[in-house]
Amino acid sequence: MNDVMILGEVKERSLDLRTLELLGAGKKLAGDLGASLSIVLLGDTVSAAAEQAVPYGPNRVYKLEHPLLKGFNADLWLTSLEQTCRKINPKIFLMSHSFIGMELGPRLACRLNTRLTTDCIDLSIDPEDSLLLRTKPVSGGNAISVFKCPGEPQLATVRGNVFEPAEAGDGKGEIVDMVPEIDESMIRVESIEVVREVVVALDKADVVVSGGAGLGDEDGFALLQDLAKALNKSFGNVMIGCSRMAVDKGWISSDHQVGLTGTMISPNIYVAVGISGAIQHLVGMIQSKKIIAINTDQGCNMFRVADYGVVEDYERVIPALVKRLEELS
């Protein structure tokens, strides 16, 4: 078949946002190829998620249900996906660059004797040979390269928050039941304990306040925290972000980093404090609805993309802004 197929992820019996983003990307690729779009869902009970996927436009929803697919066991999921790919023979297979995609992608590529490109930030079809063009950051985010590989399926993992999520419509795709041939003897790795990791979900924030080298030292983030608390009273989910320079200097942990080598975000408001605006950073936040820049360098790149700019020392601006926000709240 000439399918563009994506691996859907289900959280709390509903499609994950990244799956909707993959559906949006897959729909465009399928249109360019004149191909059909399909999604495969794995789990012990994914019927509700399969029904939920239909309005988003896939031609087929492959539903793989099995008691052993409860939770995520890489060995069983891998075997199930390998069987599915060999039956369906998709031209392109996309996964999210989540822990599931990062775990399954390389192993699936090996089993199917194809090539994988990870952490893609853009995808398109080469009009000359219909191969998948995979754009991704390289050299620590200092450059962006486009890869094209032979073989099928054309396999890639896609970074979250870089494609617009598909919108629900009047899709009438069919749900296809498939039963994977798996058993407990295939399990090579057993999970002893599942520990929930506490991470900074910048891509879920309504407002991100970010600091860069212009803060001068790590104490500058204390002022940004004050601003975040003041904004939180009016704007809901406010988080602290940063540039790569702030991470490299050891001022803040890497899970706060915005950009090609950090998190791609699109908040309602992005406040850049002391950030010059290197291309690696701009790519990660340019989709923000409103951008506010505070910097003493009026010629910095951040002012070129900002909706509002303040040329002033942040240590004077932030306390005044916090005071005014508290007066208004």
171 against 159, higher pLDDT: 159
- The verdict on domain 4-186 having CATH code 3.30.499.10 is no
Query: Quick one: what percent of the chain has pLDDT higher than 90?
Result: 80
Higher pLDDT, 94 or 189: 94
Q: What is the pLDDT of residue 170?
A: 82
Torsion angle of C-alpha atoms 185, 190, 196, 200, degrees rounded to 10? -80
Mean pLDDT (whole number) for 93-98: 96
Q: Would you state the pLDDT for residue 315?
A: 96
Q: How confident is the model at residue 60 (pLDDT cuts 50, 70, 90)?
A: very high
Buried-state track 311-321, b at ≥16 Cβ within 10 A, e below 16: eeebeebbeeb
Average pLDDT over residues 280-301: 94
In this chain, the answer to whether the domains covering 4-186 and 202-328 adopt an identical fold is yes
- Going from N- to C-terminal start, the domains of the chain cover 4-186, 202-328
Q: Tokens 């002033």 map to which residue?
A: 312
Residue 212 confidence (pLDDT): 96
pLDDT higher than threshold 90 for residue 196: no
Task: Give residue-wise pLDDT tens across range 237-268.
Answer: 999 999 999 999 999 998 899 998 889 999 99
Which segment of 98-112, 114-128, 188-202, 252-266 scores lowest on mean pLDDT? 188-202
Q: What CATH code is assigned to 202-328?
A: 3.40.50.1220
Question: Using 50, 70 and 90 to split pLDDT, how confident is the model at 126?
Answer: very high
User: How many degrees, rounded to 5, is the angle at CA 133 between CA 128 and CA 125?
Assistant: 50
pLDDT band at 199 (very low <50, low <70, confident <90, very high): low
For residue 79, the surrounding DSSP H or E stretch is helix 74-88
Q: Give residue 203's pLDDT.
A: 87
Average pLDDT over the chain reads: 93
